[in-house]
Amino acid sequence: MRITRILYREVLKQVDYYSRFNPSPLSIEKFLQFGQEKCEKTSFLFLRKELPVRIANIMKELHLLPNSLLEMPSVELVKSWYERSFDEILNFENASSDSAQVLELFCDTLVKIRNRHSNVVETMAQGIIELKQSSSVDQHLEHCIQYFLNRFYMSRISIRMLINQHAALFGSDLHNQSPRNIGCIDPNCDVKAIAYDAYDNARFLCDQYYLTSPGIDIETLNASDPDGPVTIVYTPSHLYHILFELYKNAMRAVVESHHEDDDLPAIKTIIVKAKEDLTIKICDKGGGIPRSSRDMLFQYMYSTAPQPSASGMNSAPLAGYGYGLPISRLYARYLQGDLVISSLEGYGTDAIIYLKVLSSEANELLPVFNKTSSKHYTSIQGTHDWSSGSTNNTNGNGKWNDRMSVSN
């Protein structure tokens, strides 16, 4: 036990050291250059320094979370995964980059780390559920959780991107890649084809659950080159993740809103490629979302679906955790894009995805641990400086009270 504590303290010292460095964001263009050079030694030298920096930055924030959350069993499990993975990467800190055996072992270690962290999202979500079941969550704690999870999951996306790219170029993943891909990036990613793929899989789930599903209508436009293809340099799995989640939500809304109708209105998708942005607009006629609920759509502690059971973790991805939209937006923002939801209550909802067309501008958006980020976990949220919409400003007869409000 004493040896374990000593090793743990050593890991924390290394975390402190590496957290002093800022992550080095890459662009899609840089990823492609790395991939085209296909130099395993260069990738090894970069990753053995960059991965500990990214992991250490987010681990420092993890330790700033309130004890009430850190003590939850699922959160402790996630923390232990990160500590172990960080320690395993540090084993290569001074290893020879000229040894083929070292390079192979490094790649195997990265794949093992990736597999270990495959259920991080669900496990952390379970930790939040455990917290809500064991104690009340005040506004400050909810703010801490929201701020942290956005940064934590963005960090996870970036770390998996680095690992997946290395494994796809130099490891066993190489055999599972499309021949036109450079690592896990497709230089000519066919957006319409991925949209159809995401729709088909979402429709399969919808048919299983509701025994029916709406159709789809996809329209494409290349605004800067009318005869050119609507493609983009992108990671297909990231785009698929976003589209699948949006189609799943749209189908659920359409079926539940039109359950008595014989014909369900189709989901319309418009894909437009211009000079700066590739924009995807998904329109449904699923009844829309009231404004009072719209601000909650990207909150991790909010979901309109039933909470998943522990045995149902491997069913529909993240259904019921309320994580689908927030994480989809992170995938879009990871390379300087965005995801925006607009709705007409009583009619339907539009989801708009923005992606960078120029690979040189599609830079990673990464969390950085510093004094500014630390303040979000320690500062108490101030009182509002606008009147609340729920404040009762009328008397019992519906007339405005004459007395003035007094501010503290």
Nearest Cα to 26, choosing from 13, 17, 38, 35?
35
Q: Which of 122, 249, 273, 356 is catalytic?
A: 249
Tokens read off for 178? 């499309």
Active site residue 76: no
Q: Which of 60, 245, 356, 364 is catalytic?
A: 245
Rounded to whole angstroms, the Cα distance separating 59 from 82 reads: 7
Q: Which of 166, 238, 248, 268 is catalytic?
A: 248
Q: Do the strands 186-190 and 216-222 form a parallel or antiparallel pair, or are they unpaired?
A: unpaired
As separate numbers, helices (DSSP H) first and strands (DSSP E) second, the chain gives 13, 7
* Residues 242, 197 contacting (CB under 8 angstroms): no
Q: Which of 60, 117, 238, 241 is catalytic?
A: 241
Active site residue 249: yes
Rounded to whole angstroms, the Cα distance separating 159 from 56 reads: 12
Q: Is residue 136 exposed (0-12), middle (13-18) or buried (19+ Cβ within 10 Å)?
A: exposed
Rounded to whole angstroms, the Cα distance separating 397 from 400 reads: 9
Active site residue 143: no
Active site residue 395: no
Give me the helix-helix angle, 73-90 and 40-62, nearest 10°. 150
Which stretches of 269-323 are DSSP H helices? Answer: 291-294
Q: Do the strands 348-356 and 231-234 form a parallel or antiparallel pair, or are they unpaired?
A: unpaired
Q: Any idea which residues carry the catalytic annotation?
A: 241, 245, 248-249
